[in-house]
Amino acid sequence: MALNKLKFNSLNVTPVAGKTVGFNSSADGLEATLSGGSMRFIKKLTASSSSSLTFTNGSSDVVLDSTYKEYIFLYKDIHPSANGPNFQVQFNAGGSAATKTTTSFYAYHNEGDTSTQLTYQASYDLAQSTGAQTIATDVTNENDSSAVGYVHLFNPSSTTFVKHFIATGTHMHDNIAVLNDFVAGYCNTTSAITEVVFSMQSGTIDAGTITLYGIN
């Protein structure tokens, strides 16, 4: 007799001592225990010709406060309506864009193995700016192209320290190469970051998802 469906309440994986991964008690997300900490699903947003995807603390089940010390925004299959816009993120504190200082570079390798680059992106870093931070450059709208990656935000509710973040992502560039963007920086504010907004530099986000996780 063929097995058509496997139903279970939990799945535990123990790659090394003290580390486990499994479904949470609501069976709507994964929960990972890593060296005494845990990663919990909070919210998933799905784009459909969206001008932005916004995570606001206290709105629509979004948690972005002292509940967790770190937050990860995992973006997948981000596809723009226009061809070649930058995918960007904005951090807001008290309803206003936070001032940011960042560094940005990318690695590039084409399919023909004839061109490679590792380049600092001076045009995409910020120096005490409230502008949005580019996290994926020149995302094409080819049918089979999309951007994937994550933004890692540390201790956004702190009223003592600046708010550090790291972002990395990759996408197919000009339909012939892989491009990997790397960004690191901080929001130069001791006010809590209460909102994180993702958007394209121009046009809309045709498709894709962004999932928020909290880590303790």
Express each pLDDT in 100-149 by its tens digit: 999 999 999 999 999 999 999 999 999 999 999 999 999 999 988 999 99
Give me the pLDDT at residue 216, please.
86
Which whole number is the average pLDDT over 179-197? 97
Q: Which residues contact 176 (CB under 8 A, 6 or more apart)?
A: 110, 111, 112
DSSP strand pairing (19-23 vs 30-34): antiparallel
Contact by Cβ (8 Å): 165, 151: yes
Q: How many CB atoms lie under 10 A from the CB of residue 115?
A: 11
pTM: 0.83
Which whole number is the average pLDDT over 69-79? 98
Identify how many contiguous H helices and E strands the chain contains and give both numbers.
0, 15
Pick one of 2.30.29, 2.30.30, 2.60.120, 1.10.287 as the CATH number of 42-215. 2.60.120
Its sign, for the CA torsion 95, 127, 131, 151, is negative
Which whole number is the average pLDDT over 42-56? 98
Give me the pLDDT at residue 18, please.
44
Give me the pLDDT at residue 16, please.
43
pLDDT for residue 15 is more than 50: no
Domain map (residue ranges) of the chain: 42-215
Angstrom distance (rounded) from CA 71 to CA 42: 10
Q: State which amino acid sits at residue 76.
A: K
Mean pLDDT of all residues belonging to the chain: 89
Give me the pLDDT at residue 26, please.
57
